[in-house]
Amino acid sequence: MQKQTKKIVTLLLLLCIDPLSGLFAQSISLESNTLAGTKDQLPFWLWANQLGQFDKNSSIIQNFSLNAFHAQQIGASDFSYKVGLDLDLLLADENDIRFTQLFGATSWKFLQLQIGAFPEDEVYAGLSTTNGNLATSRNARPHPRIRAGFNRFVPVLVDWFSINGFFEEGLLNDNRYVKDTHLHYGVLNLRFGKPETLQVTAGVEHLVMWWGTHPEYGELQGWEAYFSYLTAQAGSENALEFDQNNAMGNSYGTYQLTINKNWDKLNATVYISHPYEDHSGMDLVNAVDNLYGIHLSFDKENAFLQNILLEYFHTKDQSGPYHFGQNPDKDAPSRGNDDYFNHGVYRSGVTYHQMAMSSPLFAPIIIEDGISLGFENNRFTGFHIGAMGFITESFRWKGLFTYSNNYGHHDGLGGSTYDPSQKQVSALAQVSWQPPTKKLSISASVATDRGSVYDNGVSTTRLGSMVSFKYHFSK
């Protein structure tokens, strides 16, 4: 039955190529990925940051993917549009066929409107553990949303100061604890400096889970409480008691800071992502919790080392181990135990289709009756190294290495739910080949994990591999 399904869907994908090639003349490709892992799971770097395509709990996966993209200016006007899709067939423990991406966008000058399921743009050559942002990554499948905002940084009054941002509303329509949860996402970035000098970009990103249907309380407040959700106000007398005592909905986000400098042959970026769950995080009570990174990109054709990235991450503090009246020190702030990306009402937390929408290092996800119930571990420290470059003109290499020391949660008594802490090491090595015609590319990856985070505290070594073929049909 599985072989028949594979043949039928493969035929359908091939039949789609001809009509799509007219619409998506710029880019259309067919991709095959074969993955395997030992001990009933894939190693971390075979499933993390793959737009939710691969389930880590499958030991063998066959994936076929049809990708298409087209962008075009409309005549001599200031209007343009772009459309894209990613249709995936997965043959694993549970077969699935789905649109991982399906979106359209239109722009006028510096303004843009996007509709559909689309991912965040990839930064830092795809080498970061979380695309440079602790709260929003490319780990989970894109969810349906509408985004309105700027398509680039726009100068304001002077050429050395510009702004960028957007306002977005989305729907988390997966199988989750609060069904049909809405997700608001707002971003504002301020940039100082010119490209030929030093540029400093500071921004704030705010996300709120709101509305939806709770299994116990029924339908939660919707548009009538929208302003309270967005401004993180306490709920009215019509709201849940939890929301009356706290902010409405599940608010979280990050402060983002990047410093960029260009030289003739080198581009350097230093970045910091600071998470917050409530006012204590926004007030920097948890100032030690950050993702720190540096990315170096070398402008030299076919260089052996083209990109290198270093990251250090720390989420262990979380504004202290006690929350509200639990603190035995009367003089200390009664805030703390932020419990990043988990929530008491929206219990599925910052997940979508049982994968982290935040950094994939927030893991493992607790699953009960097929529903995600947040993260078992969100307090960790560690570092990450990623690099890539050319071996020859046709052969490229890529390497990733990640170490983390994991503490679970604050236990409310000044300790940690992981005691002793659980250490985890994950690594990947990849070689890819693309001939001068650029039509075909082939890559082979090997990955390994060593640690106890994904095995209930038992230290386990896991191996895995992936072989990928990609053919470009575009002209």
Mean pLDDT of 345-373: 96
Report residue 85 as tokens.
């899709």
Mean pLDDT of 15-42: 77
Which candidate, 246, 273, 342, 322, places its Cα nearest to that of 123? 273
CATH number of the domain residue 204 falls in: 2.40.160.10
- Confidence at residue 329, expressed as pLDDT on a 0 to 100 scale: 52
What does the pLDDT look like over 187-205, one tens digit per residue? 999 999 998 899 999 999 9
Residues 6+ apart with CB under 8 A from 241: none
Using the predicted structure, report yes or no on whether residue 82 has a pLDDT greater than 60: yes
- Confidence at residue 403, expressed as pLDDT on a 0 to 100 scale: 98
Our separate counts of H helices and E strands in the chain read 5, 25
- Confidence at residue 283, expressed as pLDDT on a 0 to 100 scale: 86
- Confidence at residue 326, expressed as pLDDT on a 0 to 100 scale: 47
What does the pLDDT look like over 86-117, one tens digit per residue? 999 999 888 999 999 999 999 999 999 999 99
Mean pLDDT of 284-301: 96
What does the pLDDT look like over 386-410, one tens digit per residue? 999 999 999 999 999 999 999 999 9
The span from the CA of 126 to the CA of 449, in Å, is 20
Residue 442's CB is within 10 A of a number of other CB atoms, namely 15
Residue type, position 297, single letter: S
Q: Kindly give the residue spans of alpha helices, DSSP state H, lying in 257-362.
A: 279-282
Contact 464, 448 (CB under 8 A): yes
The span from the CA of 115 to the CA of 136, in Å, is 18
| Tokens 């702030």, located at residue | 333
- Confidence at residue 25, expressed as pLDDT on a 0 to 100 scale: 53
DSSP letter for 176, please: B
DSSP letter for 416, please: B
| Phi, psi dihedrals of residue 413, rounded to the nearest 5° | -120, 15
- Confidence at residue 330, expressed as pLDDT on a 0 to 100 scale: 46
User: What are the beta bridge partners of residue 31?
Assistant: 65, 470
Most distant CA pair in the chain, distance: 71
The helix/strand/coil state of 299 is: coil
What does the pLDDT look like over 228-248, one tens digit per residue? 999 988 777 777 777 777 778
Query: Residues of 27-38 as b/e, b for ≥16 C-beta within 10 angstroms?
Result: ebbbbbbebbbb
Residue type, position 340, single letter: Y
DSSP letter for 179, please: B
- Confidence at residue 240, expressed as pLDDT on a 0 to 100 scale: 77
Mean pLDDT of 1-14: 48
- Confidence at residue 333, expressed as pLDDT on a 0 to 100 scale: 45
Mean pLDDT of 286-307: 96
What whole-number percentage of the chain has pLDDT above 90?
79
Per-chain mean pLDDT for the chain: 91
Which candidate, 450, 446, 448, 449, places its Cα nearest to that of 429? 446
Give CA separation, 348 vs 85, 225, 343, in Å.
Answer: 27, 21, 8
- Confidence at residue 5, expressed as pLDDT on a 0 to 100 scale: 47
User: What are the beta bridge partners of residue 472?
Assistant: 29
What range defines the domain where residue 369 resides? 2-472
Residue 238's CB is within 10 A of a number of other CB atoms, namely 10
Kindly report the pTM of this predicted structure: 0.91
Using the predicted structure, report yes or no on whether residue 456 has a pLDDT greater than 60: yes
DSSP letter for 169, please: E
Burial of 326 (0-12, 13-18, 19+ CB in 10 A): middle
What does the pLDDT look like over 159-188, one tens digit per residue? 999 999 999 999 999 999 999 999 999 999
Which candidate, 62, 84, 53, 47, places its Cα nearest to that of 3? 62
> How many separate domains does the chain show?
1
- Confidence at residue 413, expressed as pLDDT on a 0 to 100 scale: 87
Q: Are strands 250-262 and 290-298 parallel, antiparallel or unpaired?
A: unpaired
Contact 250, 276 (CB under 8 A): no
The span from the CA of 443 to the CA of 35, in Å, is 12
What does the pLDDT look like over 114-171, one tens digit per residue? 999 999 999 999 999 999 999 999 999 999 999 999 999 999 999 999 999 999 999 9
Q: Are strands 440-451 and 422-433 parallel, antiparallel or unpaired?
A: antiparallel
- Confidence at residue 420, expressed as pLDDT on a 0 to 100 scale: 94
What does the pLDDT look like over 416-437, one tens digit per residue? 999 999 999 999 999 999 988 7
